Amino acid sequence: MGKGQKHPFQGYPVKKFFYVVLWLSCAAILFAAESAGISVGIRYHNKQLYYPQNGSIFVQVTVTNNSSGVYRFRLPDDRAFALDFDVRTPGNRQVENADILIRKRSGQSRVFFRELSLDPGESLSFVENIRDWRRLDEPGSYIVQAKFYPGLFKNGNITVSTGEGSGGFELLGGFQAGNEGAGEEALVSNRLNLHIRAPAVLDSGGIPVALEEETQAIYFREQIPPDEVVSWTLRSRQKSQWEKFFLYLDLEQMVQRDAARERTWRAESEEGRRRMLASYRESLSKQTIDGDISAIPFEFKIERTTYNADEGTVSVLEKFKTGDYTEVKRYTYYLRRSDGVWTIVDYVVLSLGTE
Protein backbone atom coordinates (compact mmCIF):
# COMPACT_ATOMS: atom_id res chain seq x y z
CA MET A 1 0.00 0.00 0.00
CA GLY A 2 1.46 3.35 -1.04
CA LYS A 3 2.44 6.08 1.34
CA GLY A 4 -0.43 8.29 2.31
CA GLN A 5 -3.07 5.74 1.22
CA LYS A 6 -5.64 4.68 3.78
CA HIS A 7 -6.37 1.04 4.59
CA PRO A 8 -9.87 0.08 3.32
CA PHE A 9 -11.06 -0.60 6.91
CA GLN A 10 -9.22 2.33 8.51
CA GLY A 11 -11.60 4.18 10.78
CA TYR A 12 -14.19 1.35 10.61
CA PRO A 13 -15.17 -0.31 13.88
CA VAL A 14 -13.48 -3.62 13.15
CA LYS A 15 -14.85 -5.27 16.26
CA LYS A 16 -18.41 -4.50 15.20
CA PHE A 17 -17.68 -5.75 11.68
CA PHE A 18 -16.31 -8.99 13.12
CA TYR A 19 -19.48 -9.59 15.16
CA VAL A 20 -21.72 -8.90 12.15
CA VAL A 21 -19.82 -11.47 10.07
CA LEU A 22 -19.93 -13.95 12.95
CA TRP A 23 -23.70 -13.44 13.38
CA LEU A 24 -24.39 -13.97 9.68
CA SER A 25 -22.25 -17.11 9.65
CA CYS A 26 -24.07 -18.54 12.67
CA ALA A 27 -27.45 -17.72 11.13
CA ALA A 28 -26.49 -19.52 7.93
CA ILE A 29 -25.31 -22.55 9.89
CA LEU A 30 -28.49 -22.63 11.97
CA PHE A 31 -30.68 -22.34 8.86
CA ALA A 32 -28.81 -25.18 7.17
CA ALA A 33 -29.12 -27.32 10.31
CA GLU A 34 -32.83 -26.58 10.60
CA SER A 35 -33.47 -27.35 6.93
CA ALA A 36 -31.46 -30.58 6.97
CA GLY A 37 -33.80 -33.54 6.89
CA ILE A 38 -36.80 -31.45 5.75
CA SER A 39 -38.10 -32.57 2.39
CA VAL A 40 -40.95 -31.81 0.02
CA GLY A 41 -42.26 -34.53 -2.26
CA ILE A 42 -44.94 -34.55 -4.95
CA ARG A 43 -46.90 -37.33 -6.62
CA TYR A 44 -50.04 -37.54 -8.71
CA HIS A 45 -53.31 -37.76 -6.82
CA ASN A 46 -55.72 -40.09 -8.60
CA LYS A 47 -53.66 -40.04 -11.81
CA GLN A 48 -55.56 -40.17 -15.08
CA LEU A 49 -55.24 -39.04 -18.69
CA TYR A 50 -54.83 -35.27 -19.08
CA TYR A 51 -55.94 -33.14 -22.01
CA PRO A 52 -55.50 -29.46 -22.95
CA GLN A 53 -57.97 -27.12 -21.19
CA ASN A 54 -59.92 -30.06 -19.82
CA GLY A 55 -59.97 -31.33 -16.26
CA SER A 56 -57.80 -30.77 -13.23
CA ILE A 57 -54.28 -32.11 -12.71
CA PHE A 58 -54.18 -32.90 -9.01
CA VAL A 59 -50.83 -33.35 -7.26
CA GLN A 60 -50.31 -34.32 -3.62
CA VAL A 61 -47.65 -32.24 -1.90
CA THR A 62 -46.04 -33.73 1.24
CA VAL A 63 -43.76 -31.87 3.67
CA THR A 64 -41.77 -34.35 5.79
CA ASN A 65 -39.60 -33.78 8.85
CA ASN A 66 -36.83 -36.38 8.91
CA SER A 67 -34.65 -34.26 11.18
CA SER A 68 -34.08 -34.73 14.91
CA GLY A 69 -35.85 -31.52 15.91
CA VAL A 70 -39.21 -29.81 15.59
CA TYR A 71 -39.74 -28.08 12.24
CA ARG A 72 -41.85 -24.91 12.19
CA PHE A 73 -43.26 -23.16 9.14
CA ARG A 74 -46.14 -21.06 7.89
CA LEU A 75 -48.96 -22.42 5.74
CA PRO A 76 -51.47 -19.96 4.24
CA ASP A 77 -55.08 -20.75 3.48
CA ASP A 78 -54.31 -19.89 -0.13
CA ARG A 79 -51.37 -22.10 -1.09
CA ALA A 80 -50.46 -19.76 -3.95
CA PHE A 81 -48.48 -17.71 -1.40
CA ALA A 82 -46.38 -20.61 -0.12
CA LEU A 83 -46.14 -22.94 -3.10
CA ASP A 84 -45.04 -22.71 -6.70
CA PHE A 85 -44.91 -25.21 -9.54
CA ASP A 86 -42.06 -24.94 -11.99
CA VAL A 87 -43.31 -26.56 -15.20
CA ARG A 88 -40.98 -26.80 -18.19
CA THR A 89 -40.86 -28.42 -21.60
CA PRO A 90 -38.05 -30.88 -22.47
CA GLY A 91 -36.39 -27.89 -24.16
CA ASN A 92 -36.34 -26.07 -20.79
CA ARG A 93 -39.00 -23.53 -21.78
CA GLN A 94 -40.96 -22.47 -18.71
CA VAL A 95 -44.73 -22.67 -18.98
CA GLU A 96 -46.54 -19.38 -18.40
CA ASN A 97 -48.39 -18.56 -15.18
CA ALA A 98 -52.10 -19.28 -15.12
CA ASP A 99 -54.38 -16.25 -15.21
CA ILE A 100 -55.79 -17.05 -11.76
CA LEU A 101 -52.27 -17.03 -10.27
CA ILE A 102 -51.42 -13.71 -11.90
CA ARG A 103 -54.56 -12.15 -10.43
CA LYS A 104 -53.79 -13.46 -6.96
CA ARG A 105 -50.20 -12.25 -6.91
CA SER A 106 -50.70 -8.82 -8.44
CA GLY A 107 -51.53 -5.70 -6.48
CA GLN A 108 -52.19 -5.69 -2.75
CA SER A 109 -53.05 -9.07 -1.24
CA ARG A 110 -54.22 -10.19 2.17
CA VAL A 111 -53.14 -13.70 3.06
CA PHE A 112 -54.13 -15.54 6.23
CA PHE A 113 -51.82 -18.27 7.43
CA ARG A 114 -51.19 -20.61 10.34
CA GLU A 115 -48.01 -21.36 12.23
CA LEU A 116 -47.52 -25.14 12.03
CA SER A 117 -44.94 -27.54 13.43
CA LEU A 118 -43.90 -31.08 12.55
CA ASP A 119 -42.27 -33.36 15.09
CA PRO A 120 -39.50 -35.70 13.91
CA GLY A 121 -40.95 -38.32 11.57
CA GLU A 122 -44.19 -36.41 10.93
CA SER A 123 -45.54 -35.33 7.55
CA LEU A 124 -48.20 -32.95 6.26
CA SER A 125 -49.90 -33.47 2.89
CA PHE A 126 -52.30 -31.43 0.81
CA VAL A 127 -53.60 -31.68 -2.75
CA GLU A 128 -53.39 -28.89 -5.34
CA ASN A 129 -54.35 -28.45 -8.99
CA ILE A 130 -51.34 -27.59 -11.16
CA ARG A 131 -53.64 -25.75 -13.58
CA ASP A 132 -54.13 -23.11 -10.86
CA TRP A 133 -50.43 -22.30 -11.26
CA ARG A 134 -49.54 -22.94 -14.88
CA ARG A 135 -51.25 -22.53 -18.25
CA LEU A 136 -51.28 -26.06 -19.64
CA ASP A 137 -53.32 -25.63 -22.80
CA GLU A 138 -51.04 -27.37 -25.30
CA PRO A 139 -50.46 -31.12 -25.72
CA GLY A 140 -46.93 -32.31 -25.07
CA SER A 141 -44.51 -33.55 -22.41
CA TYR A 142 -43.57 -31.48 -19.38
CA ILE A 143 -41.41 -31.72 -16.27
CA VAL A 144 -43.06 -30.59 -13.01
CA GLN A 145 -41.26 -29.55 -9.83
CA ALA A 146 -42.71 -27.92 -6.73
CA LYS A 147 -41.10 -25.18 -4.66
CA PHE A 148 -42.33 -24.74 -1.10
CA TYR A 149 -41.62 -21.50 0.80
CA PRO A 150 -41.90 -22.24 4.56
CA GLY A 151 -41.69 -18.53 5.41
CA LEU A 152 -44.08 -17.49 2.60
CA PHE A 153 -43.10 -15.33 -0.34
CA LYS A 154 -41.05 -12.26 0.47
CA ASN A 155 -40.55 -8.94 -1.24
CA GLY A 156 -40.06 -5.35 -0.19
CA ASN A 157 -43.76 -4.50 -0.04
CA ILE A 158 -44.74 -7.00 2.65
CA THR A 159 -45.49 -6.28 6.29
CA VAL A 160 -46.76 -8.74 8.87
CA SER A 161 -49.32 -7.96 11.56
CA THR A 162 -51.29 -9.96 14.10
CA GLY A 163 -54.70 -11.07 12.84
CA GLU A 164 -57.93 -10.31 14.66
CA GLY A 165 -60.22 -12.86 16.22
CA SER A 166 -58.67 -16.12 15.07
CA GLY A 167 -55.36 -15.63 16.87
CA GLY A 168 -53.50 -16.23 13.63
CA PHE A 169 -51.66 -13.78 11.45
CA GLU A 170 -52.37 -11.91 8.28
CA LEU A 171 -49.85 -11.02 5.63
CA LEU A 172 -50.30 -7.75 3.75
CA GLY A 173 -48.30 -6.81 0.71
CA GLY A 174 -47.93 -6.53 -3.01
CA PHE A 175 -46.77 -9.54 -5.00
CA GLN A 176 -45.36 -8.33 -8.28
CA ALA A 177 -45.08 -10.67 -11.25
CA GLY A 178 -41.57 -12.00 -11.67
CA ASN A 179 -40.61 -11.23 -8.05
CA GLU A 180 -42.17 -14.22 -6.33
CA GLY A 181 -40.19 -15.63 -3.46
CA ALA A 182 -37.45 -13.02 -3.57
CA GLY A 183 -35.26 -13.25 -0.46
CA GLU A 184 -36.81 -16.51 0.75
CA GLU A 185 -35.23 -19.96 0.59
CA ALA A 186 -37.42 -22.61 -1.05
CA LEU A 187 -37.61 -26.34 -0.44
CA VAL A 188 -37.49 -28.03 -3.84
CA SER A 189 -39.32 -31.28 -4.56
CA ASN A 190 -38.68 -34.24 -6.82
CA ARG A 191 -39.67 -34.04 -10.49
CA LEU A 192 -42.73 -35.52 -12.17
CA ASN A 193 -43.19 -36.27 -15.86
CA LEU A 194 -46.47 -34.85 -17.15
CA HIS A 195 -48.06 -35.78 -20.48
CA ILE A 196 -50.81 -33.58 -21.88
CA ARG A 197 -52.48 -35.55 -24.63
CA ALA A 198 -54.10 -34.36 -27.82
CA PRO A 199 -57.92 -34.14 -27.70
CA ALA A 200 -59.73 -37.44 -27.28
CA VAL A 201 -59.66 -39.75 -30.29
CA LEU A 202 -62.93 -40.40 -32.12
CA ASP A 203 -63.74 -43.37 -34.25
CA SER A 204 -65.21 -43.12 -37.76
CA GLY A 205 -68.69 -42.65 -36.33
CA GLY A 206 -67.67 -39.83 -34.00
CA ILE A 207 -67.77 -42.08 -30.92
CA PRO A 208 -65.01 -41.37 -28.33
CA VAL A 209 -62.46 -44.08 -27.66
CA ALA A 210 -60.42 -44.85 -24.55
CA LEU A 211 -56.62 -44.81 -24.42
CA GLU A 212 -55.14 -46.93 -21.63
CA GLU A 213 -52.41 -45.17 -19.65
CA GLU A 214 -50.02 -48.09 -19.21
CA THR A 215 -50.19 -49.92 -22.55
CA GLN A 216 -51.32 -47.01 -24.76
CA ALA A 217 -53.91 -49.40 -26.20
CA ILE A 218 -56.89 -47.70 -27.87
CA TYR A 219 -60.33 -49.01 -26.96
CA PHE A 220 -63.35 -48.40 -29.17
CA ARG A 221 -66.96 -48.84 -28.21
CA GLU A 222 -67.93 -52.25 -29.51
CA GLN A 223 -71.28 -53.83 -30.24
CA ILE A 224 -71.39 -56.06 -27.16
CA PRO A 225 -74.56 -57.06 -25.25
CA PRO A 226 -75.81 -55.08 -22.22
CA ASP A 227 -74.50 -57.48 -19.56
CA GLU A 228 -70.98 -57.32 -21.04
CA VAL A 229 -71.18 -53.52 -21.09
CA VAL A 230 -71.99 -53.47 -17.38
CA SER A 231 -69.29 -56.05 -16.57
CA TRP A 232 -66.71 -54.00 -18.52
CA THR A 233 -67.67 -50.87 -16.60
CA LEU A 234 -67.50 -52.53 -13.18
CA ARG A 235 -64.18 -54.29 -13.85
CA SER A 236 -62.70 -51.02 -15.07
CA ARG A 237 -63.79 -49.31 -11.87
CA GLN A 238 -62.29 -52.09 -9.75
CA LYS A 239 -58.93 -51.42 -11.44
CA SER A 240 -59.34 -47.61 -11.31
CA GLN A 241 -59.07 -47.47 -15.11
CA TRP A 242 -61.07 -44.30 -15.53
CA GLU A 243 -60.92 -43.98 -19.32
CA LYS A 244 -62.26 -47.51 -19.73
CA PHE A 245 -64.86 -46.86 -17.01
CA PHE A 246 -66.26 -43.88 -18.92
CA LEU A 247 -66.25 -45.64 -22.30
CA TYR A 248 -69.80 -47.03 -22.10
CA LEU A 249 -71.34 -44.29 -19.94
CA ASP A 250 -73.66 -41.91 -21.78
CA LEU A 251 -72.65 -38.80 -19.83
CA GLU A 252 -75.23 -36.60 -21.59
CA GLN A 253 -78.01 -38.78 -20.22
CA MET A 254 -76.33 -39.32 -16.86
CA VAL A 255 -75.87 -35.62 -16.18
CA GLN A 256 -79.63 -35.11 -16.69
CA ARG A 257 -80.62 -37.69 -14.08
CA ASP A 258 -80.92 -34.85 -11.56
CA ALA A 259 -83.88 -32.52 -12.18
CA ALA A 260 -81.92 -29.34 -11.40
CA ARG A 261 -79.07 -30.35 -13.70
CA GLU A 262 -81.57 -31.24 -16.41
CA ARG A 263 -83.07 -27.74 -16.30
CA THR A 264 -79.61 -26.20 -16.47
CA TRP A 265 -78.68 -28.49 -19.37
CA ARG A 266 -81.70 -27.47 -21.40
CA ALA A 267 -80.95 -23.78 -20.89
CA GLU A 268 -77.25 -24.04 -21.78
CA SER A 269 -75.60 -23.31 -25.09
CA GLU A 270 -73.54 -25.96 -26.89
CA GLU A 271 -70.37 -24.64 -25.28
CA GLY A 272 -72.06 -24.56 -21.88
CA ARG A 273 -73.11 -28.18 -22.26
CA ARG A 274 -69.56 -29.21 -23.08
CA ARG A 275 -68.40 -27.51 -19.89
CA MET A 276 -71.13 -29.29 -17.92
CA LEU A 277 -70.04 -32.66 -19.29
CA ALA A 278 -66.38 -32.00 -18.48
CA SER A 279 -67.29 -30.89 -14.96
CA TYR A 280 -69.59 -33.88 -14.43
CA ARG A 281 -66.93 -36.30 -15.66
CA GLU A 282 -64.36 -34.77 -13.32
CA SER A 283 -66.78 -34.86 -10.36
CA LEU A 284 -67.51 -38.54 -11.00
CA SER A 285 -63.80 -39.35 -11.04
CA LYS A 286 -63.38 -37.55 -7.71
CA GLN A 287 -66.54 -39.25 -6.33
CA THR A 288 -68.04 -35.91 -5.30
CA ILE A 289 -71.26 -36.51 -7.24
CA ASP A 290 -73.41 -39.61 -7.98
CA GLY A 291 -71.08 -41.60 -5.75
CA ASP A 292 -73.05 -44.86 -6.17
CA ILE A 293 -72.01 -45.28 -9.79
CA SER A 294 -68.32 -44.66 -9.06
CA ALA A 295 -68.13 -46.74 -5.87
CA ILE A 296 -65.78 -49.73 -6.09
CA PRO A 297 -67.35 -53.17 -5.49
CA PHE A 298 -64.91 -55.85 -4.42
CA GLU A 299 -67.30 -58.43 -5.87
CA PHE A 300 -70.27 -58.38 -8.26
CA LYS A 301 -72.60 -60.86 -9.93
CA ILE A 302 -74.93 -60.32 -12.88
CA GLU A 303 -78.38 -61.48 -11.74
CA ARG A 304 -80.65 -60.77 -14.68
CA THR A 305 -80.48 -59.17 -18.13
CA THR A 306 -83.48 -58.14 -20.22
CA TYR A 307 -83.52 -56.09 -23.41
CA ASN A 308 -85.30 -55.48 -26.68
CA ALA A 309 -84.10 -53.81 -29.87
CA ASP A 310 -83.39 -50.41 -28.26
CA GLU A 311 -83.55 -50.60 -24.45
CA GLY A 312 -82.31 -52.95 -21.78
CA THR A 313 -81.82 -53.43 -18.03
CA VAL A 314 -79.14 -55.34 -16.14
CA SER A 315 -79.57 -56.29 -12.48
CA VAL A 316 -76.31 -56.73 -10.56
CA LEU A 317 -75.61 -57.82 -6.99
CA GLU A 318 -72.62 -55.81 -5.74
CA LYS A 319 -70.68 -56.08 -2.48
CA PHE A 320 -68.69 -53.31 -0.79
CA LYS A 321 -66.33 -53.29 2.18
CA THR A 322 -67.56 -50.99 4.97
CA GLY A 323 -65.27 -51.29 7.97
CA ASP A 324 -65.67 -54.77 9.40
CA TYR A 325 -68.86 -55.39 7.42
CA THR A 326 -69.78 -56.23 3.85
CA GLU A 327 -72.53 -54.05 2.44
CA VAL A 328 -74.72 -55.66 -0.21
CA LYS A 329 -76.58 -53.62 -2.83
CA ARG A 330 -78.64 -54.40 -5.91
CA TYR A 331 -77.91 -52.12 -8.85
CA THR A 332 -80.25 -51.91 -11.82
CA TYR A 333 -78.57 -50.37 -14.84
CA TYR A 334 -80.63 -48.96 -17.70
CA LEU A 335 -79.09 -49.08 -21.15
CA ARG A 336 -79.96 -47.73 -24.57
CA ARG A 337 -78.69 -48.78 -27.97
CA SER A 338 -77.62 -46.29 -30.62
CA ASP A 339 -75.88 -47.25 -33.90
CA GLY A 340 -75.61 -50.77 -32.56
CA VAL A 341 -73.75 -49.77 -29.37
CA TRP A 342 -75.23 -50.19 -25.89
CA THR A 343 -74.47 -47.49 -23.30
CA ILE A 344 -75.53 -46.95 -19.69
CA VAL A 345 -77.96 -44.03 -19.38
CA ASP A 346 -79.30 -44.43 -15.82
CA TYR A 347 -79.23 -46.62 -12.72
CA VAL A 348 -81.01 -47.18 -9.40
CA VAL A 349 -79.63 -48.70 -6.19
CA LEU A 350 -81.35 -50.79 -3.53
CA SER A 351 -79.53 -51.50 -0.26
CA LEU A 352 -79.91 -55.12 0.93
CA GLY A 353 -78.18 -54.68 4.27
CA THR A 354 -74.87 -56.11 5.53
CA GLU A 355 -73.39 -59.53 6.01
The CATH number for 298's domain is 3.10.450.50
> Is residue 3 situated within a structural domain?
no
Are 221 and 321 within one domain? yes
Res. 244: pLDDT tops 60 = yes
Res. 78: pLDDT tops 90 = no
> Is residue 4 situated within a structural domain?
no
Res. 207: pLDDT tops 70 = no
The lowest-confidence range among 30-39, 41-50, 130-139, 341-350 is: 30-39
Angle, vertex CA 251, rays to CA 285 and CA 322, nearest 5: 40
Are 266 and 292 within one domain? yes
Q: Which residues make beta-bridge pairs with 325? A: 322
Question: Reduced to 3 states, what is the DSSP secondary structure of residue 233?
Answer: helix
The lowest-confidence range among 10-14, 71-75, 341-345 is: 10-14
Are 255 and 334 within one domain? yes
Q: Cα(182)–Cα(6) distance, rounded to whole angstroms?
A: 37
Are 47 and 152 within one domain? yes
> Is residue 205 situated within a structural domain?
no
The whole domain housing 281 covers: 210-354
Which of 142, 172, 196 is a domain's end point?
A: 196
Are 184 and 276 within one domain? no
CB 41 within 8 A of CB 190: yes
Res. 160: pLDDT tops 70 = no
Are 22 and 156 within one domain? yes
Q: Structurally, how many domains does the chain consist of? A: 2
Residue 104's CATH number: 2.60.40.2360
What's the pLDDT at 301?
95
Closest of 246, 216, 238 to residue 55, by C-alpha: 246
> Is residue 97 situated within a structural domain?
yes
**What does the pLDDT look like over 82-98, one tens digit per residue?**
899 999 988 888 999 88
**What does the pLDDT look like over 282-309, one tens digit per residue?**
888 877 778 788 889 999 999 999 999 8
> Is residue 292 situated within a structural domain?
yes
Closest of 104, 108, 115 to residue 162, by C-alpha: 115
Are 189 and 215 within one domain? no
Sequence-ordered list of residues with C-beta below 8 angstroms from that of 227, at least 6 positions apart, any chain: 302, 305, 314
How far, in Å, are 222, 249, 281, 311, 313 from residue 337 at the CA level?
11, 12, 21, 6, 11
Are 27 and 175 within one domain? yes
Which of 170, 196, 222 is a domain's end point?
A: 196
- Where in 4-139 does DSSP place strands (E)? 38-44, 58-65, 71-76, 83-88, 108-118, 123-129
Q: Cα(246)–Cα(89) distance, rounded to whole angstroms?
A: 30
Are 41 and 109 within one domain? yes
Instruction: Phi first, then psi: give them for residue 28, nearest 5 degrees.
Output: -65, -40
What's the pLDDT at 44?
93
CB 40 within 8 A of CB 61: yes
Closest of 294, 350, 297, 352 to residue 320, by C-alpha: 297
Which H or E run contains 226?
Answer: helix 226-238
Q: Cα(97)–Cα(101) distance, rounded to whole angstroms?
A: 6
Are 42 and 188 within one domain? yes
Which pLDDT band holds residue 102 (cuts at 50, 70, 90)? confident
Which among 5-14, 186-195, 272-281 has the top mean pLDDT?
186-195
Q: Is the pTM of this model over 0.75?
A: no
Q: Cα(297)–Cα(139) distance, rounded to whole angstroms?
A: 34
Are 220 and 339 within one domain? yes
What's the pLDDT at 173?
40
